[in-house]
Amino acid sequence: MTTTNKNVLLHACCAVCSGYPIELLREMGYNPVIYFFNPNIFPSEEYERRLNELIRYTKKKNVELIIDKKDSEDWYNCVIGLENEPEGGKRCARCFEYRLLFSALKALQLEYQYFTTTLTISPHKNSKLIFDIAQEIAAKYELTFLDIDFKKKDGFLKTMKIAKEENFYRQNYCGCEFSINRN
User: Which residue, 126 or 144, has its beta carbon nearer to ligand SF4?
Assistant: 126
Taking the complex as a whole, the smallest distance from the CB of residue 42 to ligand SF4 amounts, in Å, to 8
Question: Shortest CA distance to 150 belongs to which of 137, 141, 159?
Answer: 159
Spatial distance between the Cα atoms of 22 and 16, rounded to a whole number of angstroms: 11
Judged by CB under 6 A, which of 72, 103, 117, 179 binds ligand SF4? Answer: 179
The residue type of 101 is L
As a whole number of Å, the end-to-end CA separation of the chain is: 40
User: Which residue, 91 or 151, has its beta carbon nearer to ligand SF4?
Assistant: 91
User: Which residue, 113 or 127, has its beta carbon nearer to ligand SF4?
Assistant: 127
Q: What residues are paired with 8 via a beta bridge?
A: 32, 114
Site string for ligand SF4, 85-104 (x = CB under 6 A): --x---xx--x---------
Could you tell me which residues come within 8 angstroms of residue 48 by beta carbon, excluding any fewer than 6 positions away?
none
Count of residues that bind ligand SF4 according to CB under 6 A: 10
User: Which residue, 88 or 139, has its beta carbon nearer to ligand SF4?
Assistant: 88
Taking the complex as a whole, the smallest distance from the CB of residue 92 to ligand SF4 amounts, in Å, to 3
Site string for ligand SF4, 40-79 (x = CB under 6 A): x---------------------------------------
The answer to whether 166 contacts ligand SF4 (rule: CB under 6 A) is no
Judged by CB under 6 A, which of 9, 33, 63, 176 binds ligand SF4? Answer: 176
**104-128 burial, b for 16+ CB within 10 Å, e for fewer?**
bbbbbeeebbbbbbbbbbbeebebe
CB 160 within 8 A of CB 167: no
Burial of 61 (0-12, 13-18, 19+ CB in 10 A): middle
For ligand SF4, the binding residues (CB under 6 A) are 40, 87, 91-92, 95, 174-176, 178-179
